[in-house]
Chain A
Amino acid sequence: MVTIEIDGIKTRVEEGTTVLQAARQIGIEIPTLCYHEALTRYASCRICIVELSIEKRGRMRTWIDASCVYPCQEGLIVKTNSEKVKKERKVILELLLSRAPESKILNELAEKYGARKDRFESVDKGKSNCILCSLCVRTCHELIHADVIGTAYRGIRKKVLSPYNIAQDVCIGCTACAFVCPTGAIKVKLGKDRLDIESWPASLEIVKCKKCGKPVGPKVYIEHLRKEVPLSDEVFELCYECRRKMYTTTTWK
């Protein structure tokens, strides 16, 4: 256990706890975008930066670092909302807004920190709405193990894509990528017959409910689940409503 100070509050945490986790434990919120508990840390969006200070060899060393990865150590002093942090977070938001001007969360944070939406214009003029946090890529790789998408190129030209459009062949339509995307950049359209993940693109056939014809889920996804999860047929053949009706009529006979 180590003793640290966050925004003037002293607290004891297990060694190795990140500053972000330690702050949350005592109810201090630090904004994050590319961080997710279930995924490996990437520390790329830099919105979670905080001001850190520690005494080393009689001198106080102060610097800015990402709280989602920095481990707590004895004597660490953290400022999550100092003037410097607020100033730099504002600039980072303005840079992110140049990429994703329509993003709800970015606009909310912008209001809080006084960031201007139109201060900068990025290479794609914000059309993609993607801030390159790579949550979608990490999810598809680490949790879903489908490896449909990845990052390509580097620097300002970096983007997320499905190379050679393998999405059409290997995407299982779980839509976890769209779920985890902080800016809503990944567009999914559920049609009558097909599920379209427009960003990659992938167009997947939908299995329809045997009883009422409403969508159950993408065919590849259903077949994937059928192999992985030992559940009875109606889970894969009926839509949620019809299944409920079936369960209630059968149980409450």
Chain B
Amino acid sequence: MNTEKSSVLEKKDFEKILEELKLEGKKHLFPDKLKISVQSATCGKASGADEIYSTLENTLKDEDVILERVGCIGLCQQEPMVNVYVPGWKPVVYANLTPKIIEELAPQWLEGKFPEKNALGQLGPSYLDDMEGILKPVSGIKRIEDLGFFKKQLKIVLRNSGFINPLDIYEYVARGGFYSLYRVLHEYEPDQVIDDIIKSGLRGRGGGGFPTGVKWQSCRKAPGFPKYVICNADEGDPGAYMDRATLEGDPFGILEGMVIGAYAIGSNQGYIYVRAEYPLAVQTLHKAIKIAGEFGFLGKNIMGKDFSFDIKINRGGGAFVCGESTALMASIEGKVGEPRVKHIHTVVSGLREKPTVLNNVETWANVPRIIEMGVENYNKIGTKGSKGTKVFSLVGNVNNNGLVEVPMGITLREMIFNIGGGIPENKKFKAVQTGGPSGGCIPESLLDMPVDFDELIKVGSMMGSGGMIVMDEDTCMVDVARYFLSFLVEESCGKCTPCREGTYQLYKIVDRITRGEGREDDIELMEELAETIKDASLCALGKTAPNPVLTTLRYFKDEYIAHIKEKKCPAGVCKELITYFIIEDKCTACGMCKKNCPVGAIEGEKKVPHKIIQEKCTECGICLSVCKFDAVVKK
């Protein structure tokens, strides 16, 4: 491997270098022997990908087979998964694997067979590029692109995740990687790059939705040196993990984007700020940066041109507020993550008071792809105000849990019922939460709205970083508001009065309501507090902190009223407001509930219908889950 690389780099002509890397990369992607790729991103590992990997190692130890780890293709719920490539045939993805199933299937793969058992689908044109027409389709197995989960997706940012070996730079180049950087450095002036990004309509994917090109332009024009480029990988919204998958599955894509951005604004130093809770992503990035440097795509005189750019990695310290740009910069400077006043724009005075461009992981990952496909083609995707695609983490009470990338403008109904496969156990849809703690809950009546930056704001929510949490009929919306408020109270930096004190007081009120201690004037009080917190807080965390309460009040006011006036929780969630009963007629006195009750709150002898002692009952719900006769009910 080493000798090939150095002989390749000796040729100063980077166009030739890229071609050679591409050819080599194709051989890695489609080798002349069996190759099994184990999807080993953090969610894969949590599902057992490591055991799958070691089982394969054992089973195939005497065979001439390639075994590697890749990122994830997004259908996290069905992990662990592997991609099986038999030379000449389209790769097939196998899912829901166990070591036992592997031992059964692996010998068949060795023989070049593709059993239907556990087969999810075979990869098609969105992954195979020009090999689509050359590799033979496997009969009896569906195409991945035709499956309900994948059909409406359009993978731009996630095109490589789960397919290429994330640290194999040859494979990255084989799929078109670093060609955009080559074109930019050799054919574009910095202003032309900015012009293209403005025309593309790319808007920040981290939550703000600010036009990326305009941001770059302001920074380029700002006086001062040096200038900095930052990648915000502090993905803090609970329920959102799109950036993690991209960092672990296709790190070179982010690096390429950052180099292009640095060239455009005139920066030579970049930073990637990664959450401490993403150790695998941090490791992967360190390796990717080293490799990219060795191949001349980072560091001094990139691709032989008179442009140098280095990237350092900073780890977060476990503070959600550090996802806010000025708090993030303070953290890089070694300070507490307290935001600064916002009227001083970071593009003019940011990190170390120098002009800085800060963009989200997904925003950076889009940049090389926009250059590659051209602005006109990118404009064809999405809506008028929201161009391109967005990666969402579709999680919660939905059948197909995972990461999806869709063109902007797709409706929420399509996302949840089409791609998501609907609500499990045939329960009713209640709400979908977007935008994390800064966002809001959208009810059923708005399911046909398009996913679009401005449309989401109109209904009181926001795009946010892309968390999309589906909630079914058994969700209490007051409890959801309480949950988000408790999160914000915990994460507030504590600098300004409205956020520090106000959000805490708002939380106390909602908490009281969930415990059946709501008062007549609570809703009015919450609205008064919410207005002040929204207007007077120093930063976006504070300003959007009241959103969970405001949107649930807007669309689910009846639930608040039920909690306050009737002291009832219609969804049956708030423990102080629900009671468990045993229906005498249905009880067979089997004793299961009594045996499993952790606090001994059920009494009853053999053949006598059992009863719950209400004073002892902690409403844990175990009795209901173990009763086989539906005799336990919750009211």
Contact = CB atoms under 8 A, between A and B. Distances in A.
* A and B in contact, CB less than 8 Å: yes
Interface of A: 41-47, 49, 63-66, 69-71, 84, 87-88, 91-92, 95-96, 98-99, 120, 122-123, 131-132, 151, 153-158
Contact of A44 (B319, B490, B497): B497
B501 A98 contact: yes
A132 B528 contact: no
9 contacts: A43-B538, A46-B537, A95-B498, A120-B505, A131-B497, A155-B489, A155-B500, A156-B494, A156-B504
Nearest to B492: A155
B319 A120 contact: no
B532 interface: yes
A69 B535 CA distance: 16
A158 B504 contact: no
Interface in B494-523: 494-498, 500-502, 504-505
Given A43-B341, A69-B341, A91-B532, A158 B494 contact: yes
B536 interface: yes
Would you list the 8 A-B pairs with minimal beta carbon distance, nearest first? Answer: A158-B494, A95-B501, A64-B535, A155-B492, A91-B532, A155-B494, A88-B532, A156-B504
A156 B489 contact: yes
Given A88-B531, A120-B501, A155-B490, 5 more contacts: A43-B496, A45-B496, A91-B529, A120-B505, A154-B319
Interface of B: 319, 321, 336, 341, 343, 489-498, 500-502, 504-505, 528-529, 531-532, 535-538
Contacts of A153: 494
B496 A70 contact: no
Contacts of A95: 497-498, 501-502, 505
A92 B497 contact: yes
Contacts of A63: 535
Contact of B538 (A46, A84, A131, A132): A46
A150 B497 CA distance: 18
Contacts of B498: 46, 91-92, 95
Contacts of A120: 501, 505
Contacts of A123: 504
Given A155-B492, A156-B489, A99 B536 contact: no
Contact of A65 (B343, B490, B502): B343
Contacts of A92: 497-498, 532, 536
Contacts of A44: 495-497, 538
A122 B538 CA distance: 20
A99 B491 contact: no
B110 to A, nearest CB: 56
B489 A96 contact: no
Given A46-B497, A99-B501, A154-B319, A91 B492 contact: no
Which of B343, B535, B537 gathers most chain A CB within 10 Å?
A: B535
A230 B121 CA distance: 86
A123 B508 CA distance: 11
Contacts of A155: 489-494, 500, 504
Contacts of A96: 497, 501
Nearest to B531: A88
A66 B535 CA distance: 10
A213 B528 CA distance: 58
A120 B500 CA distance: 13
Nearest to B537: A46
B504 A88 contact: no
Nearest to B337: A154
Given A123-B504, A155-B491, A88 B497 contact: no
A154 B494 contact: yes
A154 B496 contact: no
A45 B336 CA distance: 18
Given A43-B538, A88-B536, A156 B343 contact: no
Contacts of B532: 87-88, 91-92
Contacts of B343: 65, 69-71
A69 B343 CA distance: 9
A96 B532 CA distance: 13
A13 to B, nearest CB: 16
A223 B530 CA distance: 52
Nearest to B525: A119
Nearest to B533: A91
Contact of B494 (A49, A122, A132): A132
B536 A49 contact: yes
Nearest to B342: A65
Contacts of A42: 495
B346 to A, nearest CB: 16
Nearest to B501: A95
